[in-house]
Structure 1
Amino acid sequence: MRLDGTKRLHGWAIAGAALLLCGLLAMMAVDRVMRSSAIDDAMASADGNAQILASGLQSELQKFSLVPPVLAEDPDVIALMKGDRSRAAILNRRLATLAEQTQAAVIYLLDADGRTLSSSNHASDDSFIGSVYGFRSYFREAMAQGAATQFALGTVSRRPGLYIARRIGNPGSPLGVVALKVEFDALEKSWRASGRGVFVVDGSGVVLITSNPDWRFHALDPEAATNRNREEDLRALGVARFAPLELSRRYKRTASVPLDTTGHVVAPEGWTMHLLVDPSRYVGGAISRGRLAVALAMAVLVMLGALAFYLRRRREEAREADLARRTDLLRQQLSQANRLATLGQIGAGISHEIRQPVAAMRVFAENGEKLVETGELDRAKGNFAQISRLADRIGTITGELLRFSRRGTRAQRAMPIGQAVDGALLLLNDRIAGLDVEIALPDAEARAIEVVGEHVRLEQVLVNLLQNALDAVGASGRIAIEVATRTDTCLVVVSDDGPGLDQAAMDRLFHPFATTKEDGLGLGLVISQEIMRDLGGDLRAEPSESGARFVMEVPLA
């Protein structure tokens, strides 16, 4: 009996030691699994947040990039640059109003020598008028290349910002430069308020925009920044050598998103947004939960040793259920992050859809103001009616972007297809003229063909196709718009003489986020095809011997 008891005691001791050893091993394994899972959760969340932040910054930069090209073509600006100094006072007021509306730090006009002739801050003590900025690289590059950007400190304010510049006049005889400065104080403040560690670096890894001002003008890799122009950096940024960026040890990982440039140059090439990730709060909670599960499992094993086999099976089932729950949670988080990133990209693309109506509204408003001053009220009234129509159109186009994710129906009517063609050409008139592109249009009989559709949505599809064609052909290219009928369908063909599309690009044209452009969102053709199918037609790409060829199918009236 005593021997049996001793053996039993030894058996319990061995079983206890084995259980303790198993418990320790289980705790170590669970710690590793929970740590890995928690870090994955943290990175998934950070990737989604980084995409949203990058899309927001990209959208903000795109908004400002539209202003210099419009001002560079303004008649008052050109007259001022050609020597009519009487326009300066008018432009001062206009620039001040425009800066207030767009929330630009300052907008100013420089002559060919870099001297400021007009500025939005003309009334302030630190007015730019009379100051010479010919030494700035954005001025030199804009004069030489047509457009330029530069991140630099203000020469007077010493406040950091991005300068966006556009040449006035043609390359052979430039008249001057339109410059706009964007400051990021509000954006950086919102980043700080969110408690996130966020910063944007240029192609050399130098921090430019940041939630922590102490990080600005530090380098992720000081060696990579040694090839920069130190003289230019000292003049523009106030530093010639960049100290290494030393981050808190709690930031173990970084989610990074490159900021691609879009139609207009809005940021120097190579900008990247970094979102610092602190996984400690994820890891600590996950490990605690894992250890608690192990401790409870051990307690259950101790209390219910006789049911060890049964409880072991139940524990395995519980672990599988816990793993499935965590996997499902991770899948939901990834899905949510993807949705938010998609919404951010669509929001950033809104300016692509409405920038031309906005530019047209500005022209109509300025012309209307001049017509009122000269007493031509009837013509002015017509301009203001055009503004109202374009404003309605902007609202409708924005609604179409929302409709892409929220299905609905709109009233359709019989209309001549030429109305949609004319409207699309009106929106793109300035860009077509600027690129000197030849547009071959259908004759009056073809334009009068009656179709069943919605004017604005058909026009939106045509704008998307023509925008793509303009991107493809560049300056002095050729685009053709043809209209024909087949049975009960009107065919509207948009073709160009650009480089065309290979078979791989043709196969994924209408897939979301598939694009052949470095700056494209990959949503324009998807939305356009959805619109056409909702109208009872279709949109497809056809092979072509030269360039690209897209066919809109619209039901005949």
Structure 2
Amino acid sequence: MGHRLGRWHLLLIALVAALLIGALAMLGLDRAMRVSALAETRTAATSQAAILAAGLESELNKFSLVPRVLAVDPEVGTLLAGDRSERSVLNRRLAALARQTNAAAIYLMDADGLTLAASNWDRPDSFVGSEYGFRDYFAGALRDGTHTEFALGTVSRRPGLYLAERVGPADRPLGVVAVKVEFDSLERKWRDAEDGVFVTDLDGIVLLASNPDWRFRAAEAETAAGARPARDPARDAMRFGIAQIETLALPWAGPATSRIRMIEKIQPIAPVGWELHLLADPAPRLSTAIANGRLAGVLGLALLGLAGAGGFIWLRQRSERATAQVAAQTAALREQLQQANRLATLGQITAGLGHEIRQPLAAMRVYAESGGRLLAADRKDEAAGNFDKIAGLADKIGRITEESLQFSRRTPSEPKDIPLTEVIEGSLLLLRDQIRQSGITLVLPEHDEAAVMVRAQHVQLEQVLVNLLQNALQACGTGGHITIAVAADRQQVRLSVSDDGPGVATELRDTLFQPFITGRPEGIGLGLAIARDIMGRIGGDLVLEDNETGACFTMMIPAA
């Protein structure tokens, strides 16, 4: 009897000990799952913030070129000089340009701020005749040559970014060209896809937001010097429609009984000095991770051996599903990052493309005017020759614009057989102005060598080659040498880009293709990482090879 009681006593102690061990294990498991879920949320938020910032920077770079080009347009200068005969033509040009670029408005003001021409000239809310000399962007453009300001529209009361450029020299300004950009569609995309996104200016004022109630509030963070400087209520009322700027309190997530602070990731926006803030809600990942951890723990403690086998199968299936989901999300993020990189690259070379287009446009105008005079003089054969030249120049502009549009498009995932010469010619067409301005000596492969067929995607190969050529241009500087070489066998084609620059530092060679590793102070270290990822996904590779001088990067492409 005493022996039986002793055994039950030991069993009870063992049971209590097992319960205590199980409870401690459950607490430890909860903590581990919580830490893991928060880390996953931070990692995903960091990647997504970088992608959104790159997209916004690309949009801003696209619009920043419009006022610069218009500021040197002959028709703009003629109108500001006092000739109003072509005002209606300029109004229609501005309207067409606003439609093409999706700008809210493009308008031209004289040196006193009076609007002379505008893209909305034929609408009830036309800017023509309105005076904007009191605006900061107008005064700043007259003073500095270029200026930006985010504010409510005087007429529309809709918020937008004003990009202004002075026309004429600083000592005798003729006027100012301004472009207003609205971000309604971008904010709607953020609202549908993200937990929370907002953009602040240098003073911490929210300018763009996925939640309209956050706009024109001051972010909670203070400046490096401490509290933010006092604001001018009258100026804020004019810019934002609010005299007293309230503080934006970041939202919390989760149920009221266990609220969790949203994770915030900040990404700088060049060149306007803004910051993009991405808010990520960790609550779904936390609840899922903790619930899954507890379920796994209960199953493990309750079923022991048999349940352990079942738990192992369940965990394996769950891991496979999570792996598939992560793979799908990674593929989507990779494609978005590649697209953002293409748009950012296109934004960097757009000024050169504008130069390539302006020259034939000017020549076309001269040939057209000359052709008209020849027709008036009944010299039809000579006039026909002028018009043939105009057609040839139009074809050249078409090739440039088509190449830039193709470079910016999202591409299908299936590779196809393409001649390598098309990729080389398209890349050089995009970079022609940079190469010419740098005085680079460019050595190209023979046409027969470059005409080899490869199995890949045109735009993706072009994205990698443009990245390598831009790196080579920056490395070798003015008057350097760049060589493009092609070698092929039955399995693969090797496309090499070599330069005579300083080469790659020894300490960077092993980590050069890792994200955020760069040898340039102004670089972010994503170009080569994206380029190698692209090559790997088509069955090729990107390698750094030994070279007597400078650097040599080789694209290994599957042969067709």
Query: What TM-score comes out, normalization by structure 1 length?
Result: 0.72
2-side partners of 1:493 and 1:469: how far apart?
A: 7
Alignment of 1:248-263 (within 5 A): 248-250=251-253, 252-261=261-270
- 2:389 aligned partner, one-letter code: R
Cα distance in 1 for partners of 2:342, 2:421 equals: 30
Alignment partner, residue 294 of structure 2: 291
Amino acid in structure 2 at the alignment position of 1:143: L
For the residues of structure 2 that align with 1:161 and 1:541, how far apart are their CA atoms?
Answer: 51
Out of 343, 353, 357, the position equivalent to 2:353 is 357
Amino acid corresponding to residue 390 of structure 1 in structure 2: I
Give the equivalent residue in structure 2 for 1:39: 38
Gaps of 5+ in 2: 254-259, 373-385, 453-457, 486-495, 555-560
Aligned with 1:381 (options 380, 384, 391):
391
Conservation of the 8 A alpha-carbon contact between 1:41 and 1:330: no
How far apart are the structure 2 equivalents of 1:412 and 1:502? 27
The amino acid that maps onto 1:244 is T
Answer whether contact 1:47 1:337 (CA < 8 A) is retained.
Answer: no
Give distance in 1, aligned partners of 2:47 and 2:427. Answer: 39
SS at match of 2:252: coil
1:155 aligns with 2:159: no
Q: Is the counterpart of residue 343 in structure 1 residue 346 in structure 2?
A: no
Please tell me whether the aligned partners of residues 400 and 429 of structure 2 are also in contact (alpha carbons under 8 angstroms): no
* 8 Å contact kept, 2:483–2:497: yes
Amino acid at match of 1:411: P
Amino acid at match of 1:284: S
Q: 1:459 and 1:324, CA in 2 relative to 1: closer, same or farther beyond 3 A?
A: closer
Query: Residue type matched to 1:254 in 2?
Result: I
For 1:324 and 1:492, locate their aligned partners in 2 and report how far apart those are by CA, in whole Å.
42
Aligned to 1:146: 145
- The answer on whether the counterparts of 1:423 and 1:459 sit within 8 Å (CA) in structure 2 is no
The aligned counterpart of 2:88 is 89
Comparing 97-106 with 347-356, greater Cα deviation is found at: 347-356
Paired with 1:109 and 1:276, the residues of 2 have a C-alpha distance of: 39
| 1:480-518: CA deviation from partner (whole Å, max 9, x where unpaired) | 669999xxxxx999889xxx8995898688876555263
Would you say the 8 A contact 2:54–2:344 is kept in 1?
no
Secondary structure at 1:259 match in 2: strand
SS in 2 for 1:294: helix
> What corresponds to 1:226 in structure 2?
228
2:337 and 2:426 map into 1 onto residues whose CA distance is 29
Contact between 1:54 and 1:257, CA under 8 Å: does it hold in 2?
no
* 8 Å Cα contact 2:404/2:430 also seen in 1: no
Report the alpha carbon displacement of residue 118 of structure 1 after superposing the two structures with TM. Answer: 1.3
Percent identical residues: 38
Tell me, yes or no, if the aligned pair for 2:360 and 2:397 is still in contact at 8 Å: yes
Q: 1:86 to 1:463 in 2, by over 3 A?
A: farther
Structure 1 partner of 2:278: 275
> In the alignment, does 2:34 pair up with 1:53?
no
Write the letter of the residue equivalent to 1:281: P
Deviation by residue 1:458-485 (Cα, 9 ceiling, x = unmatched): 9999987997799899xxx964669999
CA contact (8 A) 1:109 1:178 kept: yes
Counterpart-to-counterpart distance in 1, 2:281 and 2:408: 37
Give the whole-Å Cα distance in 2 for the aligned partners of 1:83 and 1:551.
56
**Could you tell me how far 1:357 is from its partner in structure 2?**
3.1
User: Retained in 1: the 8 A contact 2:342–2:463?
Assistant: no
Query: How many residue pairs end up in the alignment?
Result: 512
Corresponding position of 2:490: none
Shift of residue 98, structure 1, vs aligned partner? 0.6
Q: 1:321–1:21: structure 2 CA closer, same or farther, 3 Å change rule?
A: farther
Aligned to 1:219, the other structure's residue is in SS state coil
Please tell me whether residue 239 in structure 1 is matched to residue 242 in structure 2: yes
- Tell me if structure 1 keeps the 8 A contact 2:106–2:118: yes
Give, in angstroms, the shift of residue 325 of structure 1.
7.3
SS in structure 1 of the partner of residue 287 of structure 2: helix
Within the alignment, does 1:390 sit opposite 2:409 as a pair?
no
* 2:403–2:426 contact (8 Å) kept in structure 1: no
Alignment-derived partner of residue 381 in structure 2: none
| Structure 2 letter corresponding to 1:387 | I
Q: Work out whether 1:427 is the aligned partner of 2:433.
A: yes
Q: RMSD across aligned C-alpha pairs, in angstroms?
A: 5.1
List aligned pairs for 1:67-466, cutoff 5 A: 67-194=66-193, 196-221=195-220, 224=223, 226-227=228-229, 229-230=231-232, 231-250=234-253, 252-261=261-270, 265=271, 268-269=272-273, 271-300=274-303, 336=331, 339-340=334-335, 342-352=337-347, 355=350, 356-357=352-353, 360-361=356-357, 364=360, 368=364, 371-372=367-368, 375=372, 376-394=386-404, 410-411=418-419, 427-428=433-434, 439=439, 452-453=449-450
Distance 1:208 1:29 in 2: 43
Residue 61 of structure 2: aligned partner: 62
Alpha-carbon distance in structure 2 between the residues aligned to 1:295 and 1:118: 74
**CA separation of 1:10 and 1:316: change in aligned 2, threshold 3 A:** farther
- Report which structure shows greater RCO (CA 8 Å, sep ≥6): 1
Q: Equivalents in 1 of 2:548, 2:175: separation in Å?
A: 44
CA distance in 1, matches of 2:427, 2:322: 51
Offset of residue 289 of structure 1: 1.9
* Paired letter, 1:214: D
Q: Deviation string for 1:116-162 (max 9, x for gaps)?
A: 22111111122112222222222222223332221111112111111
CA distance in 2, matches of 1:198, 1:175: 40
Q: Kindly tell me: are residues 116 and 283 of structure 1, through their superposed partners in 2, closer, same or farther at Cα, counting changes over 3 Å?
A: same
